[in-house]
Amino acid sequence: MNKTLESTTTLHNGIKIPHLGLGTWQSRGGKCEDAVAYALTHGYSMIDTAQGYDNEKQVGKGWKASGRARGEIFITTKIKNSNQGYQSTKKSFAKSLKDLQTDYVDLLLIHWPEVKQFSKTVETWRALVELHKEGLARSIGVSNFTIDLTEKLLDEIDVVPAVNQVEFHAFLYQKELLDYCREQHIQIEAYSPIARAKFFDHEVLKRVAKKHQKTAAQVMLAWLLQHDLVVIPKSVNPERIDENADIFFDLDEEDMQALNNLQPQNRLVDGFWAPDW
Ligand SMILES: NC(=O)c1ccc[n+]([C@@H]2O[C@H](COP(=O)([O-])OP(=O)(O)OC[C@H]3O[C@@H](n4cnc5c(N)ncnc54)[C@H](OP(=O)(O)O)[C@@H]3O)[C@@H](O)[C@H]2O)c1
């Protein structure tokens, strides 16, 4: 594999994004702080948080505890649905920056499309475009966007998201969406990349893991890297944080084919669900 823990991929706006980041959904309090500090001092350079995770302060504290310089790390946050709309996006983002103890984020996403009130999401996107121009968000993107919704957004505003963060793992191989995003130069970031550890007993996964002397989680993450996705596995456990970073090895064509065809496929998060927070 030509990727390493230190190498990056380049977004369509020229910003470099690490291949691996630490997810923080459900990481709370001191555990979140410790996990962020541990990850940033053990090879990770990227942290994924969101207004809706209620842990931006802890992410900021964990980063500070790590001693890493701001320019060395990549922070992503997301506008939650109750903050969508032009003014509330800007206001809430100012609070995110304060909580994260930073002057800018590297990536700012719309967490969920407002499917029933899409005009609100368009307004949110307008605010993100401005925040990007002001230098407060080095890159902007979306999350949980289907092909149709991305097209709908692009009908309104001509700024293509740099990233679409979606559920993507070997048990949810969204090939059509991946092909579409590649055509549009939108980088897919895979959330729930190890499918929340739910299917580690699958025979194919176990066979490939044994062949490479790796764990099921490592095989699932390597499969995503080999498809050129960015991965953001979550853990608050130091051994697992290390395990999830030891993923820069090659799967051969036979492994890839087997993993591309895993059955049954399973979506863990309803794509049309949008939270009321
Ligand atoms: N944009 C969105 O709407 C959205 C939605 C969902 C997730 N996300 C982001 O994506 C990140 C990752 O997704 P996720 O948290 O849903 O799922 P995930 O990363 O696939 O799985 C996390 C779960 O697996 C456990 N785990 C982690 N590494 C493990 C390992 N090597 N072996 C066994 N168990 C392991 C973790 O527990 P421990 O912590 O106890 O290790 C946790 O319960 C989130 O944290 C969040 O940042 C975004």
The terminus-to-terminus CA distance of the chain in angstroms comes to 40
Which residue's CA is minimally distant from atom 30 of ligand 1? 240
In a domain, 72, yes or no: yes
CA angle 261, 263, 264 (to 5 degrees): 145
Residue 225 CA to its chain's centroid (Å)? 13
Ligand 1 atom nearest residue 217's Cα: 31
pLDDT score, position 277? 52
pLDDT score, position 180? 98
Which residue's CA is minimally distant from atom 34 of ligand 1? 197
Which residue's CA is minimally distant from atom 37 of ligand 1? 235
CATH of the domain at 23: 3.20.20.100
Ligand 1 atom nearest residue 50's Cα: 47
7 against 271, higher pLDDT: 7
In a domain, 49, yes or no: yes
Single-letter residue type at 220: M
CA angle 232, 234, 238 (to 5 degrees): 120
The residue to mutate among 24, 25, 78, 84, having the most atoms of ligand 1 within 8 angstroms of its beta carbon, is 25
* 156-168: average pLDDT: 96
CA 135, 139, 145, 151 torsion-angle sign: positive
pLDDT digits (tens, 9 = 90+) for 2-30: 999 999 999 999 999 999 999 999 999 99
In a domain, 41, yes or no: yes
Distance in angstroms (rounded) separating the CA atoms of residues 67 and 64: 6
Taking the centre of ligand 1 as the mean of its atom positions, its distance from the CA of residue 250, in whole angstroms, is 23
Position 91 pLDDT exceeds 80: yes
Q: How many domains does the chain have?
A: 1
Catalytic residue among 44, 53, 173, 191: 53
pLDDT score, position 39? 98
pLDDT score, position 270? 79
Taking the centre of ligand 1 as the mean of its atom positions, its distance from the CA of residue 9, in whole angstroms, is 22
Q: How confident is the model at residue 116 (pLDDT cuts 50, 70, 90)?
A: confident
In a domain, 53, yes or no: yes
3-class state of residue 29 by DSSP = helix
pLDDT score, position 272? 62
In a domain, 245, yes or no: no
Contact 23, 233 (CB under 8 A): yes
Ligand 1 atom nearest residue 78's Cα: 1
Q: Which residues line ligand 1 (CB under 6 A)?
A: 23-25, 48, 111, 143-144, 165, 191-197, 217, 232-237, 240, 243-244, 269
pLDDT score, position 271? 63
Q: How far is CA 99 from CA 5, 45, 125, 140, 273, in A?
A: 27, 19, 22, 19, 27
Ligand 1 atom nearest residue 193's Cα: 20
Mean pLDDT for all residues in the chain: 96
Taking the centre of ligand 1 as the mean of its atom positions, its distance from the CA of residue 239, in whole angstroms, is 14
In a domain, 205, yes or no: no
The residue to mutate among 142, 192, 241, 273, having the most atoms of ligand 1 within 8 angstroms of its beta carbon, is 192
pLDDT digits (tens, 9 = 90+) for 229-267: 999 999 999 999 999 999 999 999 999 999 999 999 999
pLDDT score, position 219? 98
The residue to mutate among 234, 246, 247, having the most atoms of ligand 1 within 8 angstroms of its beta carbon, is 234
Domain span at residue 99 reads 8-200+229-236
Q: Of the candidates 192, 174, 273, 179, which has an alpha carbon nearest to the alpha carbon of residue 232?
A: 192
pLDDT digits (tens, 9 = 90+) for 186-199: 999 999 999 999 99
Position 275 pLDDT exceeds 90: no
Taking the centre of ligand 1 as the mean of its atom positions, its distance from the CA of residue 20, in whole angstroms, is 13
Position 274 pLDDT exceeds 80: no
In a domain, 220, yes or no: no
* 197-217: average pLDDT: 98
Catalytic residue at 53? yes
In a domain, 207, yes or no: no
